[in-house]
Structure formats: C-alpha cells, structure tokens
Amino acid sequence: MLFNSIEFFLFLPLVFCLYWFVTNRNLRLQNLLILASSYVFYGAWDWRFLLLIFFSSAADFTIGWLMGSTPEHQKRRRKLLLWLSLALNLGILGFFKYYNFFTDALIDLLQGFGLHANYRTLYIILPVGISFYTFQTLSYTIDIYRGKLKPSKDPIAFFAFVSFFPQLVAGPIERASNLLPQFEKKRSFDFDQARDGARQMLWGFFKKIVIADNCGILVDTVFADIGGSSGSMILLALCYFSFQIYCDFSGYSDIAIGCAKLFGIGLMDNFKYPYFARNIGEFWRRWHISLSTWFRDYLYIPLGGSRVSQKRAIFNVMAIFLVSGFWHGANWTFILWGFLHGLFFIPLLLMGQNRSYLDVAANDRILPSIKELFLIGLTFLMTTLAWIPFRAESLSHVGEIINGLMSSSLLSIPPMMKMIPYIAVFVLIEWWGRRKRYPLENLEFAKPVRWGIYLTLFAAIFLLGDFSQKGEFIYFQF
C-alpha cells in the first residue's frame, strides 16, 4: 500500500480511530491492532510475503528469548544463537536479493577461465522492505548478545515492532532499543504530537509529489535516451535526480515519522538537510542516518573504526561504503557508487577532517559565508556526480552518461528547466528551516499565516502533482 494512494487515505483514518477510540484502554489490544493493520498494509503488495516477515519475527523472538535465558558465562551458546540469527536473516536476504547476482558473477568468472556451465536464473520477486526489516530485527539479537537489551517477553509487542507499518517498507531502520520499549508501555493521545505529525506528513507529501515525482518525469526522459540528449540536458537531469532521490526518500521518512506520531510513537530522524553539508563526512551524517549509523555501530566499530592503523582505517572505511552500496542493490553500479563515496571520504580521514562541521551551516547567521557556499556547492557536485552509477542501469550505461557529459554540448542551454523555480523555492524553505527537524516544525506565525502555508502546500500538491503515474517510492526497490 502506497502512502500516496487512495487506499492509504482510507486506511489511516480507520486505524487511527480504532487505535484511540476502541483499543486505547488496553495496551495489548492496541499492539494487536497495529500488528494486524501492518500485515494488511504489507500484504496489499503480495500477501505471500507475510509468511516471510512472520518467520523472521518468530525466529528472532525465539532466538532472543533463548539468548536471554542463557547464562552470561555460556558464551559459546550465546554466540551460536547470534550466528543462527545472522545466518537466517542474511541468508533469506541474500537469496531474495543477491542469488542471481552471485550466480551471474560465478558464471562470468568461470567463462573467464574458459569453462562453460549450464545454469538457470531464477525469477525471484524481491519482497518490499526486506532490507529494512531484516536489519531492524538483527539489531534486536545483536543488542541482546551485547547485553544492551533485555529480551522481549511479549510476542505481540515484538511482532508489532518488526512490522510497524509507517516505517516497515523504507525505514527509518529503527533500533530495537529505541522502538521496542515504546510498544511495551502504555501510550496516551497527545494532541500536540499528533498535530506535529500531521504537519510533517504534509511536508513529506509535498516533497514526494511536487518535487520528486515531477523531477522524476524529466530524469526518466533524459536517461532513456542518453544518445539523443545534450551534455547540458544530462547534467541538468543529474541535478534533478539529486533532488528527486532526496525528496522521494526523505519525503517517505517524513511521512513515516509523522504518521508514527499520530499513534504516539517516536521514530529517529533519517535526514538532516544533507545538501547543505560542507564535505562528504557531514553529508553522511545527514543522509539516510538510520542506515549509516547501523553500519557504524554493527560493522565499522567492530572492525576497529578509525582507532587502528592508517591502512586498517582506510580498509574499514572502504568496506563500509562498499557494503552500503551492495545493500542498495545487486548490481555493480551500486558497488561503484559506494566505492566513489569511499574515495571521497578517505582524504578527510587522512587529514583528520572526517568529524568536522558537526553544527548546521551558518548556524548563527542568515546567509552562509563565501567559503561555506563554495564547500556546499562542491559537496553537492560530488554527490551529484556519484549519483551517476546509482541511477544508471549498468556499467555500460554509466559510460554512456559520462561520454554524454563530456561532449561540447555541455555548454549549451538545456530545455526542461521548468522545475528550477520550484526547486529554488524548496531549497529556500529548507534553508530557512535547517535548524529544525523539518521546516514546518514549530511554526511561530499567527494562525492565519500558518493556515495560509498549509493551504498553499495542499494546493501545490493537488495542482502540481502528477497523479497519472503509479508514484512508487524509489527505495522500495532496496
């Protein structure tokens, strides 16, 4: 079920009313309603995959319970249980997402040695959201193993935590230590929290429908015909894609976080104005935060982080970025995307600048300095160029795009500039609200002005949105 669908606009008010007016006096019933609603939400894509998420939930709940009942001194048994959780979760993820990739890679390798093998590529449908809920359940068993979390004794609360519908399909990837306890304690309706959630959802819908979807139409037109597009058109399409993927994914996160607030649940921030970052290190502290911090805590730090030799630190950084690229998809293009970001990051690591710029740009000023503006522009250019392999369908497609960019037509005036005014207004709004979780948070205007802003956003969504398209979110494919 898509957030931007008629079904969801019927589904959400129904669940909200049942949640607060029918089951509000019984925590277990509230969680049961969330669980049932989440399975309906997820099953709207393909009900067969409900068996998969049920199995993952049941397996990790059982493993967590067994691990919690195992004394601390029986480290071998606890480690075996952890490895069982890793094997089950990553095995399922690997089969559905990477089977054909590894099969094709193996065949290519054998052919490189002059060997020929008969094989069959399976037609495997990738379950929506599997990469997200797999990492979420893994955080549960890993944190129990580390002694940071007690096993849940309530299977309904645990199953609701795994399948919570606002963030089930595309995150944020929540830690069990943050989200699970919220399902284990009574929740009371908070009007201010619900109102804040509705505002954040409105901003998310604006980003998705007005900016991302309209940019996507222009991007698809150019990338479908690279040979017939000028260099300037390709460059403009890349810039549009930068805003498309940001507004699409962060728009989803805003809708998910805002929707969760309607039910008294707090989710972590997933984006913090990444295109105002002044270097790649800051960009990754502001982009897809739930994934980057997951890799930091469960892979980068266990590998030694940066508190090792310089060579090992470089290896650790490249490993994280390559794994991050591979997490996004079974294609060499995503691995190349991760590799590029690793290359961009390593100079910062070597110069000790990887933790610079911890505050927001122009934190105490209205406008950025010349230096900040230059660094923001440079970082945006680097990330935009790195989006080439992310958007490309294959490595050969990457080559076509680069060749198109390097043509003399790069200096020509491109058509398709109608989105530039909308993007400019969007950037100004984001800059104005960069110190907040999202720009509409805590609007300190008179009531008529506030409602004028809300109505303007509503009007933009309905007048500028292209509802003839299916409107799926980009990160559903991951």
Quick: pLDDT tens for 157-207.
Answer: 999 999 999 999 887 999 999 999 999 999 999 999 999 999 999 999 999
- Helices 50-68, 27-43: inter-axial angle, 10-degree rounding: 140
Share of the chain above pLDDT 90, in %: 73
In a domain, 338, yes or no: no
**Two tokens, residue 183:** 């399902």
- Where is the domain boundary, 174, 189, 204? 189
Ranges 23-37, 96-110, 263-277, 355-369: which has the least confidence = 96-110
Q: CB–CB of 96/127 below 8 Å?
A: yes
Q: Is residue 419 part of a domain?
A: yes
CA 248 – CA 183 distance, rounded (Å): 28
Mark whether 447 and 370 lie in a shared domain.
yes
Quick one: which of 161, 171, 142 has its CA closest to 82? 142
Q: Could you tell me if residue 393 is inside a domain?
A: yes
Considering the domain architecture, whether residues 270 and 363 belong to the same structural domain is answered as yes
* pLDDT at site 228: 87
For residues 271 and 390, state if they share a domain. yes
User: CA-CA distance, 29 to 430, in Å (whole number)?
Assistant: 40
Q: Are residues 168 and 236 in the same domain?
A: no
- 74 and 39 share one domain: yes
Tokens of 241: 């894609």
* 433-440: long-range contacts, CB 8 A cutoff, minimum separation 24: 434/273, 434/276, 434/360, 434/361, 435/360, 435/363, 437/200, 437/269, 438/199, 438/200, 438/203, 438/254, 439/203, 440/199, 440/200, 440/202, 440/203
d(CA 399, CA 388): 10
Those residues whose C-beta lies under 8 Å from the C-beta of residue 178, and which sit 6 or more positions away, are 266, 268
CA 96 – CA 331 distance, rounded (Å): 14
> Domain check: are 267 and 168 in the same one?
no
Give the model's pLDDT for residue 470: 66
Residues 258, 441: Cα–Cα separation, whole Å: 11
Count of structural domains within the chain: 2
* 259 falls within a domain: yes
- From residue 113, alpha-carbon distances to 100, 104, 327 in Å are 20, 15, 29
- Over residues 434-446, the mean pLDDT reads 90
Structure confidence at residue 120 (pLDDT): 60
* 73, 116, 288, 328: the active-site residue: 328
Say whether pLDDT at 208 is over 80: yes
Q: Are residue 265 and residue 183 in the same domain, yes or no?
A: no
Active-site annotation holds for 328: yes
pLDDT tier for residue 117 given thresholds of 50, 70 and 90: low
Domain containing 365 equals: 192-278+357-477
Residues 146 and 262 in one domain: no
The last residue of one of the domains, among 134, 166, 189, is 189
Find all residues with CB under 8 Å of 366, minimum gap 6, and list them.
Answer: none
The answer to the question of residue 308 being in a domain is no
Question: Using CA atoms, how far apart are residues 413 and 398, in angstroms rounded to an integer?
Answer: 23
Helices (H), 362-418: 370-391, 395-405
To the nearest 10 degrees (0 to 180), the angle between helices 332-350 and 370-391 is: 150
Is a pLDDT exceeding 90 seen at residue 396?
yes
Question: Helix, strand, or coil here: 302?
Answer: coil
Short-list 366, 373, 465, CA closest to 422? 465
**Measured CA distances, 46 to 41, 43, 171, 334 (Å):** 10, 5, 19, 26
Considering the domain architecture, whether residues 211 and 79 belong to the same structural domain is answered as no
Q: Are 393 and 333 in contact (CB under 8 A)?
A: yes
CA distance 432 to 366: 8
> How buried is residue 154: exposed, middle or buried, by Cβ count under 10 Å (0-12/13-18/19+)?
middle
Name the residue with tokens 């300037």.
232
Q: Do the domain assignments include residue 342?
A: no
User: Are residues 173 and 216 located together in one domain of the fold?
Assistant: no
Residue 323 lies in a domain: no
Amino acid at 237: A
- In this structure, the answer to whether residues 208 and 271 fall within a common structural domain is yes
Pair 469, 412 in one domain:
yes
pLDDT at 115 over 80: no
Position 330 scores a pLDDT of: 82
| Token output for 14 | 């129904």
Most confident of 75-79, 216-220, 427-431: 427-431
Residue at which a domain ends, from 137, 161, 189: 189
Residue 110's pLDDT is what?
A: 61
The pLDDT of residue 71: 82
Q: List the structure tokens of 422.
A: 């909308």
> Would you state the structure tokens that stand for residue 54, as one six-digit string?
């049920």
Written as six digits, the tokens of 341 are 């970001």
Residue 239 or 112, more confident? 239
Is there a domain that residue 448 lies in? yes
- Lowest mean pLDDT of 107-111, 351-355, 376-380, name the range: 107-111
